[in-house]
Amino acid sequence: MIKLIPVQNWVPSLSGPLIIAGPCGAESYQQIMITAQLIKATGKAHILRAGIWKPRTRPGSFEGKGEQALSWLAEAGRKTGLLTAVEVGNSYHVEKALKAGIDVLWLGARTTVNPFYVQEIAKALIGTDVPVMVKNPVSPDLQLWIGALERLNKAGIGKLLAVHRGFTSLTSSSLRNAPHWEIVIELKRQLPDVAVICDVSHISGKQEFIPAIAQHALDLDLQGLMIETHYHPEEALSDSQQQITPRQFNELIEKLNVRKSKSDDIVFKTTIEELRNHIDSIDHELLQLLAGRFRLVQRIGEFKNSSNVTLLQLKRWTEMLEDRVKQGKTEELDEVFVTRLFEFIHNESLRLQNQILNSDHDAEQPLLSKYEQQNNSKS
Ligand code: PEP
Ligand code: MN
């Protein structure tokens, strides 16, 4: 990575989280101007966002006002003093947005997913020092997200931000996109210098979930929020259910609790250190216990092998899971957690025993987890 330029260096007077507000799409001169002025009046936003070219999943929905709207957005920026941001999906968009004087560009989730487009955009940005925000790809693929950040960085972009907007999921949920916060935490672990902000609106999908998602993002120490804001959300041409009014935006930001990243208070530090030491020793014990458990599992594997008995013993697994969930309840452990934990442990037991039962051919393949298969097929 070339040297990253912290957000504080390119957003004037930034002291807390970076706040981005504005409509999903620019719909008319009036909509942009009024929304921008109302957002500015809250005093809580740094950047005004609006989609000009909207990548819609199905044809026929509102696809943005195109180039003409760039000048509306640029004018709204000049009048309010807010920085402006627009989504770009190819080199033509980059050229037009920069020419119109847009301050910040972002890559949408449907662009990050495609390295050809990311590379084309990166190439078009060589020689500029425009800030670029990279949304996560629609699929829960951390490597694609990191890859896009790297491509832009290699093109000389140092003002880079990652935007977490959730992932498409097959399992149904009330949220529009599955947050998979663990992927964001892993991004922060692998690229600690890249600031990550949360696009709360595209995770929530509905106004009612916005406060809790926004608070959670801040509690995970993300460095900012993007909130779709429209002067008449109910009339919005896209994403109407998740947009809020400038007044609601003002209340939302006011109510959020911005906690500090760390505390130097001596009592806090010593107490937490003591508790963490205790956790460390419990974890070490847990690993020793698990190792002992898997040694027994392997002995059972030898018996299954010599008696030519199937790997899976459904009755035993069903009874075992019921028993562990029941004990978990008496210990006040969450049922879903206990079930997942023992599914994970049982899977590892099956993997170990399969190596014993099928040592003469590639015993790993049939048992590869979805995650391992994904990683193995990475190119
Ligand atoms: C948007 O920001 O309006 C948008 C299209 O988002 P995403 O790329 O996250 O779907
Ligand atoms: Mn949107």
pLDDT digits (tens, 9 = 90+) for 220-245: 999 999 999 999 999 999 999 999 99
- How far apart are the C-alpha atoms of 44 and 274, rounded to whole Å? 39
- How far apart are the C-alpha atoms of 108 and 64, rounded to whole Å? 14
Average pLDDT of the segment spanning 302-320: 97
Return the pLDDT at 137: 98
Where residue 267 falls among pLDDT bands split at 50, 70, 90?
A: very high
| Beta carbons within 10 angstroms of residue 4's beta carbon | 18
Return the pLDDT at 342: 98
Lowest mean pLDDT among 1-10, 139-148, 279-288, 358-367: 358-367
Q: Which residues contact 167 (CB under 8 A, 6 or more apart)?
A: 136, 137, 138, 139, 140, 177, 178, 179, 180, 183
Ligand 1 pocket: which of 199, 227, 230, 238 to mutate (most atoms within 8 A of CB):
199
**Domain assignments of the chain as residue spans, ordered by start:** 7-255, 266-378
Where residue 58 falls among pLDDT bands split at 50, 70, 90?
A: confident
Same fold, 7-255 and 266-378: no
Q: Is 133:104 a contact under the CB 8 Å cutoff?
A: yes
- How far apart are the C-alpha atoms of 47 and 58, rounded to whole Å? 29
- Residue 201 CA: nearest ligand 1 atom is 2
Q: Is 228:240 a contact under the CB 8 Å cutoff?
A: no
- Residue 108 CA: nearest ligand 1 atom is 8
Q: Is the pLDDT score of 360 beyond 90?
A: no
Return the pLDDT at 364: 61
Which protein residue has the closest C-alpha to ligand 1 atom 10?
A: 109
Lowest mean pLDDT among 52-61, 253-262, 348-357: 52-61
- How far apart are the C-alpha atoms of 67 and 113, rounded to whole Å? 24
CATH classification number, 266-378, choose in 3.40.605.10, 3.40.50.720, 1.10.1070.20, 1.20.59.10: 1.20.59.10
- Around ion ligand 2, which residues have CB less than 5 A away? 24, 239
Q: Is the pLDDT score of 296 beyond 60?
A: yes
Distance, CA 157 to ligand 1 centroid (Å)?
21
Return the pLDDT at 258: 97
- How far apart are the C-alpha atoms of 189 and 57, rounded to whole Å? 32
Distance, CA 238 to ligand 2 centroid (Å)?
7
- Residue 199 CA: nearest ligand 1 atom is 9
Q: What lines the ligand 1 site, CB under 6 Å?
A: 24, 51, 108-110, 135, 165, 199, 202
Instruction: Specify the CATH number of the domain 7-255.
Output: 3.20.20.70
Where residue 2 falls among pLDDT bands split at 50, 70, 90?
A: confident
Select the more confidently predicted residue: 1 or 21.
21
Task: Classify 45 as helix, strand or coil.
Answer: coil
Which residue is listed with tokens 């041409």? 237
Where residue 1 falls among pLDDT bands split at 50, 70, 90?
A: confident
- Residue 238 CA: nearest ligand 1 atom is 3
Listed in sequence order, the DSSP H helices in 233-265 are: 246-255
Q: Is the pLDDT score of 122 beyond 80?
A: yes
Q: What percent of the chain has pLDDT over 90?
A: 90
Q: Which of 43, 49, 54, 51 is nearest to 77 (CA)?
A: 49
Q: Is the pLDDT score of 162 beyond 60?
A: yes
Where residue 370 falls among pLDDT bands split at 50, 70, 90?
A: very low
Where residue 338 falls among pLDDT bands split at 50, 70, 90?
A: very high
pLDDT per position as a tens digit, 199-217: 999 999 999 999 999 999 9
Reported pTM: 0.90
Helix or strand run (H / E) with residue 352: helix 335-357
- How far apart are the C-alpha atoms of 123 and 154, rounded to whole Å? 10
Mean pLDDT of the chain: 95
